[in-house]
Structure 1
C-alpha cells in the first residue's frame, strides 16, 4: 500500500513539473517529462509494484538471492583456480599428450611461410647470432640497410 502511494505521489509531482514546463513554452520537454511521470502510476495499475513489494519484503526471497550469489561466487572461484593451475585434470592430461606428440622431432626447423626466396644463412652467421652480445645484430643490419 505504501509503495502504491509513493508511486502515485511521484507521478503527480512529475505531471506538475510538466505543467510548469509547458507554461514556459517548452512543449517538447514538457511532453517528455509527462511521459516519464506516467510510468510509476502505470506500474501501480498493472500490479508490478505490488509484485515487487511482495518480493522485496519476504525473507525467503532474500535467502534465495543470497544462495544465487553464493553459487556464482563458487563458480567463479573454481574457474579462477582452473585457469591458475592449467585446467582440470583431464585437460592437463590431454595437453601433456599433445606435448609428447609434438616433441617427435624437437630439432626440426619451423616450416617456411614464404615462397622459398630467402637464402639460408651461412653457419658463421648462425654462430654469431648465438653469442650473447650479438642479440640485436639482425636488427642493426636492417636499420643500417634503411639508413637509420
Structure 2
C-alpha cells in the first residue's frame, strides 16, 4: 500500500516537472521527463510493485537468493580451477612425459657462429664444442654499417 502511494507521488512530481519544462519551450526534454514519470505508475498498475514488496520482506525469498548466490559461487570456482590447469593426475603425467622425451634437440644449445666466423676448438674441451674466433665481429659489422 505504501509502495503504491510513493510511486504515485513520484509520478505526480515528474508530471509537474515535465509541465514546467514544456512551459519553458523545451518540448523534447519535457517529453522525456514525462516518459520517466509514467514508469512508476505503470509498475503499480502491472502489479510488479506489489510482487517486489512481497519478495523484499519474505524470508523464503531471501533464502532463495542466498542459495542462488551459493550456486553461482560454486560454478565460478569450478571454472576458475579448471582454467588454472585443474588437470587430472593422468593428464599431468602424460604432459611431463612428453616434456622429457625430446623437447630440446642436442645441437640446439650450440651458439650460432655467423657466416664469417671460423670455429675454434677449445683446448681440453670434450666433444665438438666450438667458439667463434672473434667475439666482437658482429658488433663491429653493425657499427661500421652505421658509420660509427
Higher relative contact order (CA 8 A, sep 6+): 1
Q: Which residue of 1 aligns with 2:66?
A: 66
Structure with larger Rg:
2
1:142, distance to aligned residue in structure 2 (A): 8.5
- Is 1:19 aligned to 2:19, yes or no? yes
Q: Which residue of 1 aligns with 2:43?
A: 43
Cα distance, 1:143–1:80 mapped onto 2, change above 3 Å = farther
1:98, distance to aligned residue in structure 2 (A): 3.9
Number of residue pairs matched? 130
Q: Secondary structure at the match of 1:65?
A: helix
After TM superposition, the structure 1 = structure 2 runs for residues 1-148 of structure 1, keeping only pairs within 5 Å, are 1-81=1-81, 86-90=85-89, 91-100=91-100, 103=102, 106-107=105-106, 109=108, 124=119, 127=131, 144=143, 145=145
Task: State TM-score, norm by structure 1.
Answer: 0.65
Cα distance, 1:44–1:83 mapped onto 2, change above 3 Å = same
Give CA deviations for 1:19-41 in whole Å, capped at 9, x if unaligned: 11111111111111001100111
1:7, distance to aligned residue in structure 2 (A): 1.0
- Aligned Cα root-mean-square deviation (Å): 3.5
Which structure 2 residue ranges, 5 or more long, are not aligned?
A: 109-113, 121-129
Task: State TM-score, norm by structure 2.
Answer: 0.65
Q: Secondary structure at the match of 1:3?
A: helix
Counterparts of 1:143 and 1:14 in 2: how far apart (Å)? Answer: 76
Which structure 1 residue ranges, 5 or more long, are not aligned?
A: 110-118
